A and B are shown apart, each in its own frame.
Chain A
Amino acid sequence: MRDEIIRRMLISIPQLLIMSFIAFLFIDLAPGDILAKYRFDPRISSETVEKIEEKYHFDDPAIIQFGYWLMRLVRLDLGYSFSREANVSAVIAERFLNTLTLSFFSILLTWLVAVPLGIYAAVRQYSWGDRIMSVISYFGMSLPSFFLALLLMYTVYVGRDLPIISALPMGGMISSNYEQLSWPLKIVDRAAHLILPVIILTIHALAGLQRISRGNMLEELRKQYVITARAKGLPENKVIYKHALRNAINPLITLFGFSFSSLLSGAALVEIIINWPGMGSLMLAAVRAQDTFLVMGSMLMGGVMLILGNLLADILLVVADPRMRK
């Protein structure tokens, strides 16, 4: 087990290197650069622009620039973000926790709701409950998340005179008078701001996960061992929840590993609409501004999370499934 983890860690190094190089190449291939805004500003002289260009080796070929980037990376320096005028590590650190909070709650809620619903739907296949859930799921899957966000925001706006809804903040992480609040109220304020984005992300992710867990469960229920178990007279509850469910869970664990990487990547469009300062909107803005170092930094973080997530999933799988331990 320990050797396996070490092996995986070592493999991940070339993986990350290749990934970052490809990302670097793409940013470099795109016409224009981050300094365009300086060039187009009548107040900034071309000498100033040239000085910056020289300092960060922007006029060197991509491979050399990548080399400089790697050299800085070894010293744990992710470089400087021109669009945000701060060190990349500082910019990412600032967003990291926000995305983590939001993703954590929405993933938690999604799994708590979606998996039981999927199992319920599988066990009672073609019942009215299953059918209604199917319709809702298809609706949820086909609705883009940003549209859902706008829809919910508008609902909150329309219901601004209703009791609970009127207390719901419309986007952001804190209220304008946050500093004046006492600390218990500060926590309440932050929690209240979480409600809307968590609901949006959950509704969006719920549908897919519910369908997958339903499908997995159905597949297990059709297998021979279930028939055997039933034939030898095991109570139905035991058949479903002890035998079938444990097997149906395995593919979901792998899926969970992948969702771990989305803990950090965030949901750019929802973040923008709901004004949640997360990694998704940061990344989008960085790409649009061609802020190379910031893109590279957040890509790298995303890659690390993906690799860690997969590793975590595999470990969990070993824990959950005795067959995986050799």
Chain B
Amino acid sequence: MRFKGFVIITAAALISLVGCGSIKDRKASKVEGIDYMALQKKAETFVPEIGTYGGELIMSTISDPKSFNPITATETSTSEFTQYIYEGLTRIDGVTRMPEPNLAESWEVSEDGLTWIFHIRKGVLWSDSVPFSAYDVEFSFNDLIYNEDINPNSARDILLIEGKKIEVTPLDSHRVKFVLPTPFAPFLRTVNGGVAPILPKHRYEKFVKSGTFSNALGIQTPPDSMVGTGKFLLDSYVSSQKVTFRRNPLYWEKDSAGNRLPYLDRLVYMIVSDQNTELLRFKRGEIDVLAAKGEDYPGLKKEEAKSNYTVFRLGPATGSSFLFFNQNTLTDSETGKPYVDPVKQSWFRNPRFRKAVAHALDKESMIRIVMNGLGYPQWGPMTPSEGYFYNPDVPRQEYDLEKAKKILADEGFKDSDGDGILEDADGNTVEFSFITNSGNNVRVKIAEIIRKDLETLGFKVHFQQMEFNSLVQRIDNRPFNWDAILLGLTGGPEPHFGKNVWHSSGTLHMWFPRQKEPSTEWEATIDTLFVSGVKELDKAQRKAIYDEWQRVAAEKLPLIYTVLNERTVCISNKFKNINPSPNGGVLHNIEKIYIDTEKQ
């Protein structure tokens, strides 16, 4: 989960100040969605040019790295940096988001899908010139990832399959055998560098032996001592100011003319905590790349022609925000009362009720008002930019107030006492609380619109904002006293990694966490789909399973999805080989990006 905190007060002041483009422009600008499918097709057929060496690319980031330890890293603010230094057996292709060979050149798999033999790429060197071998792979899995003493360790949580380890044995220095306890379809994806980075045995074995690995590779570690096989190496880190990487001269990948990649000499991350400052610094040319917010888009677009940058719109981002109702049926053992009032349970657990709510969400207004037109409605649990498993054909509850009202009327909801608020069939006033987390301006504004929509339906809604930590605590802890919540989760291309959310026993099964038995038929269906999906090794059949999950989820609406914002990236024109892709962004091929020296 990654939540960019921003200072609310400054954000309020910025619109008039730095927002660029007057209010008048804003009203006039009507931004249409782009054809991101076509853009994605174009990105897939992109042919890079042969580049020239030299130069630097300056980015900005909102927070400091917490460490440079890729094993104990739990946040994107760390893995953002370690991804350059350490690699995995496979990598996720920047454009297609599918696993591709990386440190493993090729692999064989047995009939039953349990035994995998990886052939290690020959000629790969660690940055201290020691050859990379299968023993480094063995070390990284057996001594680091599966080491009980190294905590926290998110790779272990992913790579324990039904609680069992994968057996990793090197056959010789260039072959390593993996034996899985049960078939595990996302296997190739889970051995990518982001989840299971390979670290040099000759460097870190001593830390493991002395039990200090959890604290090794901290932010105070001298950059020179960090040894990787990646494209760039850490050059320096100045707390709260910047992180600098330099080109790894020994990196194994070459361009089509046989030149060693990457082309750029240095990557610099300036740490800029305030988003307004970030925008000003980009416009002044101090930063080369900017992830633009919807409200800044018109201003940036207007100045694009006379400035030295290009604005790329990349279609919907990953990561979703959704409304959900408390469907908990359990009774508090201490008070003897149900956690959720049975009256409310009868509304919230009724799929027709949730369907009516979904029909009442005015997603177009959310996109227009909150996102300046740069957004897309979301209907199901996966987003288009997550690639292969995304199912575009899920039931869509389009905005239709009449239909929503009719569904409610059919279910017995009507305003029987004429006070403008609906009562259910038993005469109970439909009244509930609605919470979202504070600190995320976009989400708070969307919540305001949703509240209006719910009130239009005739509900009485008590809207409240709460600090993120407190809200999360409330969701999965006694006494589960909440009614409706708007929240978000980051997504990813592999549906199985959402199991914690979708399986009824999951801790993030937010509408009714940690169930012993699935409480509804459709939850049982989703449970079965997730259990069989992870074992299905046939790609097409596996897709069919997850297509079905997305269909059921979009029909039963435990999470009522709202809108996705558009990924908008501005980048200085001096860079070449930029291949904007809706799935991968603009920097996914950073090793091939170079600076056009003639334009300098």
Bitwise, B230-243 to A at CB < 8 A (1) or not (0) is: 00000110111110
Question: How many Cβ-Cβ contacts under 8 Å join chain A to chain B?
Answer: 161
- Number of residues on chain B facing chain A (CB within 8 A): 64
Which chain B residues (180-219) contact chain A, with CB distance < 8 Å? 218-219
Kindly specify which of A8-16, A110-118, A168-176, A300-308 makes contact with the partner chain: A168-176
Q: Report yes or no: B238 in contact with A275, Cβ–Cβ below 8 A.
A: no
How far is it, in angstroms, between the C-alpha of A178 and the C-alpha of B243 when the chains are bound?
12
Type the 1/0 row for A167-190, where 1 means its CB is closer than 8 Å to any CB of B.
001111110101100000000000
- On whether A30 and B18 interact (CB within 8 A), knowing A40-B1, A42-B498, A42-B508, the answer reads no
From 201 to 221 in chain A, residues with beta carbon under 8 angstroms from any chain B beta carbon are none
Closest beta carbon of chain A to B157's beta carbon, Å: 4
Binary flags per residue of A9-44, CB closer than 8 Å to B gives 1, else 0: 000000000000000000000111110111111111
Q: How many whole Å from A276's CB to the nearest CB in chain B?
A: 8
A147 within 8 Å of B (CB atoms): yes
- Complex: how many Å from CA A37 to CA B284? 35
Confirm or deny: B365 has a beta carbon within 8 angstroms of a beta carbon on chain A.
no
Contacts of B272-289 to chain A: CB distance below 8 A: 272-274, 276-277, 280-281, 283-284, 286
CB distance from B287 to the nearest CB of A (A): 8
B9 at the interface (CB under 8 A from A): yes
User: Given A42-B497, A176-B268, do A171 and B281 touch, yes or no (CB 8 Å)?
Assistant: yes
- The interface residues of chain B lying within 8 Å CB-to-CB of A51 are 151
- Given A51-B151, A171-B272, A174-B242, A157 and B1 contact (CB-CB distance below 8 Å): no
A191 at the interface (CB under 8 A from B): no
- CB under 8 Å from chain B, chain A span 145-159: 146-147, 150-151, 153-154, 157
CB pair B157 A32 closer than 8 Å: no
List B contacts of A169 (CB < 8 A).
Answer: 286
Q: Of the candidates A46, A154, A275, which one forms a contact with B273 in the assembled complex, judged by CB atoms under 8 Å apart? A: A275
In the complex, which residues of chain A have a beta carbon less than 8 angstroms from the beta carbon of B508?
40, 42
The complex places the Cα of A326 from the Cα of B287 at a distance, in Å, of 62
- Contact check: which of B64, B219, B268, B277 meets A171 at CB < 8 Å? B277
Q: Does B5 make an interface contact (CB < 8 A)?
A: yes
> CB of A85 within 8 A of chain B?
yes
Is B280 within 8 A of A41, CB to CB? Answer: no
B residues near A274, Cβ cutoff 8 Å: 277
Contact B272 A172 (CB under 8 A): yes
In whole angstroms, how far apart are the Cα atoms of A289 and B14 in the complex? 24
Interface centre among B7, B286, B439, B469 (most CB of A within 10 A): B469
Contact with B along A269-284 (1 / 0, CB 8 A): 1001111010001000
> A48 an interface residue at 8 Å Cβ cutoff?
yes
Map CB proximity to A onto B7-19 as digits: 1 under 8 Å, 0 otherwise: 1011001100110
Q: Known: A36-B473, A272-B273. Contact between A179 and B7, CB under 8 A? A: no
B425 contacts the other chain (CB 8 A)? no
Verify B66–A84 contact, CB threshold 8 A: yes
Chain A residues near B286 (CB-CB < 8 A):
169-170, 176
In contact, A85 and B154 (Cβ under 8 angstroms): no
Q: Which of B500-543 contact A (CB under 8 A)?
A: 500-501, 507-508
Question: B residues within 8 A CB of A34?
Answer: 469
B468 partner residues in chain A, CB cutoff 8 A: 32, 36
Q: Is B38 located at the chain interface by the 8 A CB criterion?
A: no
Instruction: Determine how close the nearest CB of chain A comes to the CB of B335; give it in whole angstroms.
Output: 19
Is there a chain B Cβ closer than 8 Å to A64's Cβ? no
CB-CB under 8 A for A44 and B154, given A32-B469, A157-B284, A171-B281: yes
Chain B residues whose CB sits within 8 angstroms of the CB of A153 once the complex forms: 276-277, 280
Most buried by B among A34, A40, A45, A94: A40
Q: How far is the CA of A37 from the CA of B10 in the complex (A)?
A: 25
* A273–B277 CB distance below 8 A: yes
B473 touches A31 (CB 8 A): yes
B158 within 8 A of A: yes
A234 within 8 A of B: no
Q: When the two chains form their complex, are residues B244 and A179 in contact, meaning their CB atoms are under 8 A apart?
A: yes
- B:129-164 near A, CB below 8 Å: 151-154, 157-158
With a cutoff of 8 Å between Cβ atoms, the chain A residues found around residue B471 in the complex are: 32
Say yes or no: A48 contacts B152, CB within 8 Å.
yes
Which residue on chain A has the smallest CB distance to residue B78?
A85
Asked whether A227 is an interface residue with its Cβ less than 8 Å from the other chain, the reply is no
- Report B-chain residues with C-beta under 8 Å of the C-beta of A147: 13
State A73–B286 Cα separation when bound (angstroms): 43
Q: Does A137 contact B (CB under 8 A)?
A: no
In the assembled complex, A86 has its CB within 8 A of some CB on chain B: yes
Residue in contact with B17 in the complex, picked from A39, A48, A154, A269, CB distance below 8 Å: A154
Q: Mark B340-361, 1 if CB is under 8 A from A, else 0.
A: 0000000000000000000000
Tell me whether A52 is interfacial, beta carbon within 8 Å: yes
Of A45, A179, A269, A275, the residue contacting B157 (CB under 8 A) is A45
Question: In the complex the two chains form, what is the Cα distance from A288 to B437 in whole Å?
Answer: 13
A104-143 interface (Cβ within 8 A of B): none
Q: A238 within 8 Å of B by Cβ?
A: no
List residues 77-121 of chain A with CB under 8 A from any CB of chain B. Answer: 84-86, 90, 94-95, 98
Residues of B within 8 A of A272 (CB): 7, 10, 273-274
Whether the Cβ atoms of B472 and A85 lie closer than 8 Å is no
The B contact surface, by secondary structure, is mixed
Of the candidates A48, A85, A150, A176, the one whose C-beta lies within 8 Å of that of B242 is A176
Cβ 8 A contact of B151, one of A37, A52, A176, A273: A52
CB within 8 Å of A: which B242-283 residues: 242, 244, 268, 270-274, 276-277, 280-281, 283
Identify the interface centre among B1, B66, B218, B286: most chain A CB within 10 Å of its CB.
B1
Beta-carbon contact of A150 and B154 below 8 Å: no
Tell whether, in the assembled complex, residue A33 and residue B244 are in contact, meaning their CB atoms are under 8 Å apart.
no
Q: How far is the CB of B125 from chain A (nearest CB, A)?
A: 25
Q: How far is the CA of A48 from the CA of B155 in the complex (A)?
A: 12
Q: Given A36-B468, A39-B507, A41-B74, are A160 and B284 neighbors across the interface (CB < 8 Å)?
A: yes
B74 touching A38, Cβ below 8 Å: yes
Q: Which residues of B contact A273 (CB under 8 A)?
A: 7, 10, 274, 276-277
Q: Which residue of B lies closest to A94 (CB)?
A: B239
Given contacts A30-B470, A172-B270, A275-B274, contact A48 B151 (CB under 8 A): yes
In the complex, A235 Cα to B33 Cα: how many Å? 80
Residues of chain A within 8 A of B128, CB atoms compared: none
**A275 touching B271, Cβ below 8 Å:** yes
Q: Give the CA-CA distance A94 to B64 in the complex, in Å.
A: 13
A302 vs B498: C-alpha distance when bound (angstroms): 44
Q: How far is the CA of A277 from the CA of B284 in the complex (A)?
A: 22
Asked whether A157 lies within 8 Å of B280 as measured between CB atoms, the reply is yes
What is the CB-to-nearest-CB distance from A2 to chain B, in angstroms, rounded to a whole number? 40
The answer for the CA separation of A42 and B152 in the assembled complex, in Å, is 13
User: Do A39 and B239 contact each other (CB < 8 Å), given the known contacts A157-B284, A275-B274, A275-B277?
Assistant: no
Which of B5, B64, B157, B270 touches A288 (beta carbons < 8 Å)?
B5
Given the interface pairs A176-B268, A288-B5, the reply to whether A33 lies near B473 with Cβ below 8 Å is yes
Residues of B within 8 A of A84 (CB): 64, 66
Whether B220 sits at the interface, judged by CB under 8 Å, is yes
The 3 closest A-B pairs by CB, nearest first: A277-B240, A32-B469, A32-B470
Q: List 24 A-B contacts (CB under 8 A).
A: A31-B470, A36-B468, A43-B158, A52-B151, A84-B66, A86-B67, A146-B7, A146-B10, A151-B17, A154-B17, A157-B283, A170-B277, A171-B274, A172-B242, A173-B238, A176-B270, A178-B242, A179-B235, A269-B10, A273-B7, A275-B271, A275-B272, A275-B274, A277-B240
Question: Using a CB–CB distance below 8 Å, which chain A residues touch chain B?
Answer: 30-34, 36-46, 48, 51-52, 84-86, 90, 94-95, 98, 146-147, 150-151, 153-154, 157, 160, 169-174, 176, 178-179, 269, 272-275, 277, 281, 285, 288-290
Besides A32-B473, A273-B276, 15 more A-B contacts (Cβ < 8 Å) are: A32-B467, A32-B468, A36-B472, A39-B472, A41-B1, A44-B152, A45-B157, A146-B10, A160-B284, A170-B286, A173-B241, A178-B238, A275-B241, A275-B271, A288-B467
